[in-house]
Structure formats: C-alpha cells, structure tokens
RNA sequence: UGGGGCGUAGCCAAGCGGUAAGGCAGCGGACUUUGGAUCCGCCAUUCGCAGGUUCGAAUCCUGCCGCCCCAGCCA
C-alpha cells in the first residue's frame, strides 16, 4: 500500500522487504504476557504494531504470550483487552494465545529431537548455569548432550507425562556451547513446571520457553514482522534458528526487528516497580491516576487520542532514550483545548461581597463553552451579590506584575462585571483574610453596549449561593527526579511526597450538577479536569488531568530567583 | 576479557555523498474578558573524538572514547 516517506527505520525495512517481494501482505502482532497491567510503554508498542498494519493495509493480531502459568492470570488478559480496545485498536477475531499452540509446539519439539537437534538434559539448574560458562569464557557441553534419539524421545515423553519432578530435567536445543552469544549455548526449550494454566488447566506439566514459543507462534500466525524491544536483540539468532530448524508448513518466515522501549521522565516503567508501588501502598492501585499505566492514565482523564498522538510524536528508533513527560502533557492539553467545555470552578475559595449589588438579585449571564469553538454553544451562569474567587487571585500587598485583585484595584470577573476592591476583612485573631468587599461597575457587563473599559486581569468565580461543593484531586509527577532509577539508589527514595493533593472545599458552577464520571472539562485558568468514578449523587470528585500553562508561575519563579 | 547494540540541540528525532527537517522545552514579541488558546520570531557553522577517502562527509573507511543489553528451567 503506502510506501511513501518512511518515518522510522522499521518502515524502511518493510519497504525494502516489499520491494524485494519477500512478503505480500504485512502482518504484525502485539504479544503481551498476561502478568500485569499495560503501561504507556506498551502503548508505544501497540501503536507501532497496529499502526504499521493499518498503514500497509495489513493485519495486527493480539496474542497473549502465556507460557508461564506461575505468573499469569485471566484478570490480566481482561484488563489488557480493555486497555487495547480503549486505545482505539481492533484485533477483530484475531485473539490468540501462545497456549493455543502447545500441542503443535510439542510436536515440533519431538521432531527436533528426531533430527538430532534437541536433547533432554538431567543437569540441575545450578549445574546448567555452571556449564553455561561466563560472558568471556565458553561453556561446557552437558554429559547428557549426546544421548540417543530414542532415549531423548522416551525421556521427553515421560517429562510430558509427569513422570519427573519439577525442575529435574529440561529439553535443550543442541546449538553451540562455545558461542559468544549466551543464548546460543544450548538454550532451554522446555521445562517441567506444575501449576494450573489459566487456559489449559492441568493438561500440561511442561511449558515451552519464550525463545521456543515466540518464533513458532509468529510463524503459525503468518506474522511477517515480529517487532520487539532491544533486549531481545541477541535472541534474534536463536529466533532464526528456531524458525529454520523446526518443521513448519508455512512458507513465510517472520523477521524479528527490535526498537528501543519508552522511558518517561519522572516515573518508572517496569512492571516489577509498578507492582511494588501498588503492593506497598504508595499508590491506590494499578489505576491510580498518578500511575503511567493505561488504566491510570484513563482514570486521570487522558484521552486515547492524546496518547496515540504522543506515540506518534516520540518516534521509533534504536537508541535508549528518556522522553520528557512534558511532551505527554502537551499532547493532552492540545487535544483537550479543542474538545473540553470550559467551566468555572474555585479550588481555594475566598468570599467576595459586592456591596453595591442588590441583595436578592440574580442574573443569568451568558458564557461560551469554548471560545475557540462557537459551535460548542453557550450556557447560563448565575451571578449574585456574594461570590467566591480563588484565594491566590487576591493579594493584600501584591508583587510587581501581579494584575489580579488587590486593595483599590480593579479586575474583570469573567463573563460578568468589573469589580473594585474596597475593603479587606480579616480574622481578628489569626489575621487571615476571610472576606473581600468590592463594588461593581454596572456599565461593564459583558456583552453590553456600555462595556468599554479594559482592565488587566480577569478572574474566574462562582456565585456563592448557587455553587456546588466538590472535591478536587491535584496530581503532580510521581517522582521528583527525572530518572528515579538512576545511580543505583532505591527509586522509592525519589517519590514525590506532594504527588497528590486533595482539596475538599472546592466550589464549582451549578452546570456541573449533571457531570458524569469520565466527563472532561477545562476549569477556567486552572487546567483540565475529569470526573472521577468516586463521584456519587451528593459528592462530585474531579481529577486534575493537567494544569494549564502558567505564565504567572514562571514570572513568580523568576522573581524569587532574583 | 566474549557477544549484541547505540551516540545528531536541554529532551525526542529526521537525515542514507550535495552543504543540519520537525516536535517538546526554553527565550523574545503581537493579540487576548482564561497570565489559556492563537500568531510571529529566536534557539546545532555542526552531527561522541581523531585521522583518512572525496571537488564535497552527519552520511564512506580506520582507530579511539562513552553509554546500554546478555551468564532465568522469566518474558
């Protein structure tokens, strides 16, 4: 199909293969092991594999690499399917499992033995390690390496029949104990491991290793390009060995291609570490909105579109890299700027009384839902004598360039009037500001003919008697360090103690009464927020997806540094 | 000391012998009833380093340096 402008080295390879007529149709696969939840690193692989298939008019399979029952579970297969679907990809009826091929794999292993290319080894795990040699010294051949085909056949069948203890024997490929590539030093193909498999139950007590199962699964499914991460690069000769030495009846030979996995700043990506965060209670679960898991990002409010866009932008290459999380944040902002309706919410309320506004008057002001998109319409927002503004938006003794509310100063209330601060009321004991008294200028009503004055600052607000109470959860990076796993220290030493801040006294505009879990909004001047599933009939809970870009925060930082 | 990879801006990343794309971040400025958005401009005389080939090298050759991965009966 489209052989135009390859955007990465994998497309170059595919274009070349197509030009040489090595393959007719492109077929990829996404092969997760159902032993944990998917994270954004997997999203990169999913987008790559499904994306290439789509781009070349081919297909992409979803295949669970379930060859180790001790670590795998149906819980994970369901979660993985949900995540892939949510990201926007469809594997149609091509949902496969390596375990679907266990019979075939066994048969192929038997054939390998008959061909004199595999043998049953009685060495213990420790002995196998010793015989393997080291990185710099060659290995030694096992004393069992030259058993007769008949004996191997008999032993392997008895392994399958459960006659031997777990770990007492393995089937090994007969390749080269002196190879510089440790993977080629007679790799283990099958091990004995009792345990109930989530799909095959107790049918098997021997399970194939990844290096044997993966190339066979690929070949059986007609995969043309088997894309995996860099650490499998030195498994490629073994992958090819299996493809070439096993008696397959398919004629297309899959090709393994390796790319660099994603690393994201200010977080961790390994399943082991993520699991640790969950199990030790540093986060509330796999779907904690601070987690880089797909389920965490979903709950946080990230859109699938923004994640796909991110995956497009980071590119695909072979150098180990660390992508700045700011790019991910940029991608959601860009997406949500287009689609999120704007709404007013005061996170840290400060009461403002407009002294010259009639006590019992209420005006319903017209407010646009998205200034960039008039087609998103307008809504009515109630305005009255008592309102809340953001505590940060008032300062008694304002610094330079602060153009919000301060004594004797004027600001515009978004969609409403210009108000002027007349008086500050403080708590007599604590000195805390409890209320600000203002006056408004009736000539300045938004949209009216008399509204001609301009002021520097515009604030968001909510009418006190109309406001809804809400809880807002503010999230920050999970780790304070760009790379928490750097310099050998425990990554948990760099957990950000302020990664979650819960605000329980927030006031939001009444139109949010109908907000439902999953809905996303822009809280004017604050950021993008998503309704959390913890929301109940009488309690609104919002997650901050990402803040808006904050020029004022930057100015403040500069002022502090002076 | 073996094998496999990778080095282009603060972070990603194109580039494939014809004179360094693009994005993020950053910095300036315009506009603005979101300090948002938008717009406009700046941001690598040089591609890890050193030699060589060539009219011409990030691209080809040689040598060095640095970083990552591999010694699971995990994937």
SS (HEC) of A315-365: CCCCCCCCECHHHHHHHHHHHHHHHCCEECEECCEEEEEECCCCCCCCEEE
Verify that A327 and A397 share a domain, yes or no: no
Residue A52 lies in a domain: yes
Residue A224 lies in a domain: yes
Domain with A455, as residue range(s), is 345-460
The pLDDT score that the predictor gives to residue A4 is 62
Is the reported ipTM for this assembly greater than 0.95? yes
Q: For the domain that residue A368 is a member of, what is the CATH number?
A: 2.40.240.10
Verify that A351 and A445 share a domain, yes or no: yes
At which of A418, A436, A460 does a domain end?
A460
What is the Cα A75 distance to its own chain's centre? 18
The pLDDT score that the predictor gives to residue A562 is 65
Residue A266 lies in a domain: no
Per-residue pLDDT of chain A (562 residues; tens, 9 = 90+): 444 678 899 999 999 999 999 999 999 999 999 999 999 999 999 999 999 999 999 999 999 999 999 999 999 999 999 999 999 999 999 999 999 999 999 999 999 999 999 999 999 999 999 999 999 999 999 999 999 999 999 999 999 999 999 999 999 999 999 999 999 999 999 999 999 999 999 999 999 999 999 999 999 999 999 999 999 999 999 999 999 999 998 888 999 999 999 999 999 999 999 999 999 999 999 999 999 999 999 999 999 999 999 999 999 999 999 999 999 999 999 999 999 999 999 999 999 999 999 999 999 999 999 999 999 999 999 999 999 999 999 999 999 999 999 999 999 999 999 999 999 999 999 999 999 999 999 999 999 999 999 999 999 999 999 999 999 999 999 999 999 998 777 999 999 999 999 999 999 999 999 999 999 999 999 999 999 999 998 899 999 999 999 999 999 988 887 6
Residue A265 lies in a domain: no
Verify that A243 and A289 share a domain, yes or no: no
Active-site annotation holds for A359:
no
Point out the catalytic residue in the list A271, A275, A420, A481: A271
Cα separations (Å) of A144 from A332, A404, A481? 59, 82, 51
Verify that A440 and A485 share a domain, yes or no: no
The pLDDT score that the predictor gives to residue A339 is 97
Verify that A63 and A13 share a domain, yes or no: yes
The pLDDT score that the predictor gives to residue A3 is 47
The pLDDT score that the predictor gives to residue A2 is 42
Verify that A245 and A284 share a domain, yes or no: no
Closest to A232 measured CA to CA, from A264, A252, A261, A253 = A261
Å separating the CA of residue A392 from the C1' of nucleotide B41: 33
Q: For the domain that residue A33 is a member of, what is the CATH number?
A: 3.40.50.620
Active-site annotation holds for A492:
no
Active-site annotation holds for A271:
yes
Verify that A164 and A75 share a domain, yes or no: yes
Verify that A117 and A185 share a domain, yes or no: yes
Calpha distance A449→A66 (Å, rounded):
70
Residue A242 lies in a domain: yes
Å separating the CA of residue A482 from the C1' of nucleotide B25: 14
Please, what's the b/e burial string for A1-15 (b: 16 or more CB within 10 A of its CB; e: otherwise)? eeeeeeeeebbeebb
* Chain B nucleotides near the protein (CB, 7 A): 1-8, 10-16, 22-27, 33-38, 67-75
Verify that A359 and A377 share a domain, yes or no: yes
Calpha distance A132→A171 (Å, rounded):
15
Calpha distance A334→A180 (Å, rounded):
49
Cα separations (Å) of A183 from A125, A372, A433? 16, 57, 70
Cα separations (Å) of A485 from A150, A266, A304, A472, A529? 51, 10, 28, 30, 30
Calpha distance A230→A368 (Å, rounded):
50
The pLDDT score that the predictor gives to residue A1 is 40
Calpha distance A510→A346 (Å, rounded):
12
Residue A3 lies in a domain: no
Verify that A299 and A203 share a domain, yes or no: no
Residue A354 lies in a domain: yes
Verify that A293 and A324 share a domain, yes or no: yes
Residue A264 lies in a domain: no
Domain count, chain A: 3
Point out the catalytic residue in the list A261, A351, A414, A492: A261
Verify that A80 and A170 share a domain, yes or no: yes
Tens of pLDDT, residue by residue over A25-63, are: 999 999 999 999 999 999 999 999 999 999 999 999 999
pTM for this entry? 0.97
Å separating the CA of residue A310 from the C1' of nucleotide B44: 25
At which of A259, A282, A304 does a domain end?
A259
At which of A432, A460, A488 does a domain end?
A460
Tens of pLDDT, residue by residue over A360-387, are: 999 999 999 999 999 999 999 999 999 9
């Amino acid at each position: 199909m489209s052989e135009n402008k390859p955007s990465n080295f994998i497309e170059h390879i595919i274009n070349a293969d197509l030009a040489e007529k090595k393959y007719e149709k492109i077929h990829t696969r996404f092969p997760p092991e159902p032993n944990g939840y998917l994270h954004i690193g997997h999203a990169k692989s999913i987008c790559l594999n499904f994306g290439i298939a789509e781009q070349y008019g081919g297909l992409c399979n979803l295949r669970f690499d379930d060859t180790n029952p001790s670590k795998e579970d149906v819980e994970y297969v369901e979660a993985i399917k949900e995540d892939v679907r949510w990201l926007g990809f469809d594997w149609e009826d091509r949902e496969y499992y390596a375990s679907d091929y266990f019979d075939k794999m066994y048969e192929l292993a038997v054939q390998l033995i008959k061909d004199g290319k595999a043998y049953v080894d009685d060495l213990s795990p420790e002995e196998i390690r010793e015989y393997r040699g080291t990185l710099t010294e060659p290995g030694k051949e096992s004393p069992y390496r030259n058993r007769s085909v008949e004996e191997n056949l008999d032993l392997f069948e008895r392994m399958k029949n459960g006659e031997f203890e777990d770990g007492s024997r393995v089937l090994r490929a007969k390749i080269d104990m002196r190879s510089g590539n440790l993977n080629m030093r007679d790799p283990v193909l099958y091990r004995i491991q009792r345990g109930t498999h989530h799909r095959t139950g107790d049918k098997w007590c021997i399970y194939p290793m990844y290096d044997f199962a993966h190339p066979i699964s690929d070949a059986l499914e007609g995969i043309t390009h088997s894309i995996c991460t860099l650490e499998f690069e030195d498994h490629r000769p073994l992958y090819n060995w299996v493809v070439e030495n096993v008696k397959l009846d398919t004629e297309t030979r899959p090709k393994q291609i390796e790319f660099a996995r994603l690393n994201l700043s200010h977080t961790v990506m390994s399943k082991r570490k993520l699991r640790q965060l969950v199990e030790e209670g540093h986060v509330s679960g796999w779907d904690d909105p601070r987690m880089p898991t797909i389920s965490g990002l979903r709950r946080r409010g990230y859109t699938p579109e923004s994640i796909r866009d991110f995956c497009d932008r980071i590119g695909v290459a072979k150098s180990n890299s660390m992508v700045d999380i700011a790019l991910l944040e940029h991608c959601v902002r860009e997406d949500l700027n287009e689609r999120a309706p704007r709404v007013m919410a005061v996170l840290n309320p400060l009461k403002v009384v407009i002294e010259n506004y009639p006590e019992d008057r209420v005006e319903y002001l017209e407010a646009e839902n998205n200034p960039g998109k008039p087609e998103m319409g307008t809504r009515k927002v109630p305005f009255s004598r008592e309102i809340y503004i953001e505590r940060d938006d008032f300062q008694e003794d304002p610094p330079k360039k602060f153009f919000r509310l301060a004594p004797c100063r004027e600001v515009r209330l978004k969609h409403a009037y210009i108000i002027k601060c007349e008086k500050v009321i403080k708590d007599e004991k604590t000195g805390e500001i409890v209320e600000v008294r203002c006056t408004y200028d009736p000539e300045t009503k938004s949209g009216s003919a008399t509204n001609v004055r301009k002021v520097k600052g515009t604030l968001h607000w909510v009418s006190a008697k109309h406001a809804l109470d809400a809880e807002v959860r503010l999230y920050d990076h999970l780790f304070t360090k760009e790379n928490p796993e750097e310099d050998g220290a425990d990554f948990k030493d760099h957990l950000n103690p302020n990664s979650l801040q819960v605000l329980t006294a927030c006031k939001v505009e009444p139109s949010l009464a109908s907000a439902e879990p999953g809905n996303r909004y822009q809280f004017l001047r604050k950021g993008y927020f998503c309704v959390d599933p913890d929301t109940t009939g009488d309690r609104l809970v919002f997650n901050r997806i990402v803040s808006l870009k904050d020029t004022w925060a930057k100015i403040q930082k500069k002022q502090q540094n002076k």
